Structure 1
Amino acid sequence: MKLLHTGAIVLAGLILSGCDKTDTAASGQEVIRVGATPEGYPHNFLDHGQLKGFSVDIITAIAQKANLKIEWVMSDWVGVLGSLQTGKIDTVGNFADTPERRKQYDFTTPYYYSAAQLAVSKDNYNIHGLADMKGKTVAAELGSNYANVLKEFDPQNQIKLVTFEGMDVVANAVAQGKVDAFVSGQVILLGQIKQKGLPLKVVGEPFGVKPAALPFRKDARGEELRKRVDQAIQQLRADGTLKKISQKWFDTDLSQPPASHQGD
């Protein structure tokens, strides 16, 4: 695990620390420790020392509604997953709610709906979507659920799937022609390509819509926090806050499932 801090760093009034296990802040508010990556645009990223992003805005609104104080714990994605498993953090944003993950965690109601998409080199004119991937190699970020989403759409295992640690490593492999395509979240790919000027382009239609919710461990603390956070999410959906934050970042409302997935 690569922790990207050595102590408490104050960012926008929030504490970034992976070592403090205190559950109550000096203000008397209960602390919720949230894992995040510093280069997870558009969900969470550092901008001149300040943590910003779609999931940052959502979780901040949830904490305010639930009277919780956030302690952001920064690491790479593999480190975030390890911290969640070992109890060093309480939850993490942009985490798909899947049957496999439900075996380990209890989830809140979703705060947005995530779709997968493919990206290829901007000079690739042969791949236009999933239908063109037979016999091709697709890369995914290690620990990402999008690898599993791709498998759902490849029941005959005609696509070779490989994983790399770190989104930049995956993007470079695709750009250099070492692999044919990159599977990740639609908004993640669009955001990363735009923000970093990556020599990639998204192709085909989004697929495999999944609800993204906040996971909590199956213990007494996890259940208590999950109930408080779940109530806050429902209130934020009812008062339009989830929709407003989604439209701020994506110019569309991702807080509700697409029409074809209503009632799933």
Structure 2
Amino acid sequence: MPYFATYKNVLLAALLLCLSLPLLAKHTPEVRCGVATGFPPYQFSIDGETTGFDADVARLIFQRLGKAFQFRQESWDLVFNELRFGDIEVIAGMEVNDLRTKFFDFTRPYYYRYDVIFILEDNQQIAKLEDLHNKFVSGDRHSYIETHWKELGTLYNFRIIATPSKEKSMALLKAGKIQAAIMPKAVGLYLARQMGIGVTILDNPDPGSPVAFAVKKGNSELLSQIESTLHALIEEGEVERLYQKWFPHSSTKGKPDSR
């Protein structure tokens, strides 16, 4: 009789555990990871699926952590503000600068981006930076180039306009509605190939901006988890392997956009 009672108790405990597991899973919060739209080959979508180098690294990190997660993919300004005001927990692939460190904590960098100024290849009227004075240029807010121009006091020599995406900037350049576009080198080259247009780089002053994962300031637990996992993936060569997938013949250890 005691054996039978014990057996019943074991069965009852097992049954209760099976019933509770779906409820636990249901109430386990997913990590919401922000990524931008229209930022290929780093962050973009194909047929509605989030893809790109930063997205691949994020997937690998959360798989290694065993954490449920979902991508929140929107325009960069929306993603930025959702992290700042608490609607998401982390952003993949954010460039680190002094302004952003006031609001966010960052992991170690896992690669660098380089902002450049693109013009159309057949534009005979623009040969040097001064030729863009009083011309329309699509901007890239918080980029090294615009920050550098502010420091030099030359920013207002250019007619900077904002666009909702890098694709829009490249489309405007193709249509001749702007004379230059500021964006990361790899992004511009990728979009130019996709749109079938010839571009050239007018100026490339950027020494490189470190790129990392960002969490809201003070979220030390999540930051520590992502940081330790990212460190392991870098040491194992997994981040470099993913980089080679998107940027053949380049390396995270050199100038990533130097192709």
TM-score (structure 1 length as normaliser): 0.76
Residues in 2 aligned to 1:52 and 1:120: alpha-carbon distance in whole angstroms: 27
Q: Quick check: 1:244 aligned with 2:241?
A: yes
Does the aligned pair in 2 maintain the 1:120–1:175 contact within 8 Å? no
Q: Which one of the candidate residues 245, 248, 252 is aligned to 1:255?
A: 252
What SS does structure 1 have at the residue aligned with 2:25? coil
Residues in 2 aligned to 1:127 and 1:249: alpha-carbon distance in whole angstroms: 31
Q: Tell me by how many angstroms 1:255 deviates.
A: 2.3
What SS does structure 1 have at the residue aligned with 2:114? strand
Q: Tell me by how many angstroms 1:238 deviates.
A: 0.7
Does the aligned pair in 1 maintain the 2:75–2:164 contact within 8 Å? no
**Aligned residues, how many?**
230
Instruction: Give the RMSD, CA atoms, in angstroms.
Output: 2.7
Structure 2 runs not aligned, ≥5 long: 1-22
Residues in 2 aligned to 1:40 and 1:215: alpha-carbon distance in whole angstroms: 17
The structure-2 alpha-carbon separation of the partners of 1:61 and 1:118, relative to structure 1 and needing over 3 Å to count, comes to: same
Identity %: 21
The structure-2 alpha-carbon separation of the partners of 1:258 and 1:53, relative to structure 1 and needing over 3 Å to count, comes to: closer
What SS does structure 1 have at the residue aligned with 2:173? helix
Give 1 or 2: higher helix fraction. 2
- 1:14 aligns to what? none
Q: Tell me by how many angstroms 1:103 deviates.
A: 0.9
Residues in 2 aligned to 1:128 and 1:54: alpha-carbon distance in whole angstroms: 33
What SS does structure 2 have at the residue aligned with 1:199? coil
Please tell me whether Structure 1 or Structure 2 has the larger radius of gyration of its CA atoms.
2
TM-score (structure 2 length as normaliser): 0.77
Q: Quick check: 1:96 aligned with 2:95?
A: yes
- 1:59 aligns to what? 58
Equivalent residue runs for 1:1-264 within 5 Å: 26=25, 31-128=30-127, 130=129, 132-141=131-140, 144-146=141-143, 148-153=144-149, 155-157=152-154, 158-195=157-194, 197=195, 199=197, 201-204=199-202, 206-208=204-206, 209-219=208-218, 222-256=219-253, 258=255
What SS does structure 2 have at the residue aligned with 1:178? coil
Q: Tell me by how many angstroms 1:135 deviates.
A: 4.6
Does the aligned pair in 2 maintain the 1:113–1:254 contact within 8 Å? no
Does the aligned pair in 1 maintain the 2:84–2:104 contact within 8 Å? no
Give 1 or 2: higher strand fraction. 1
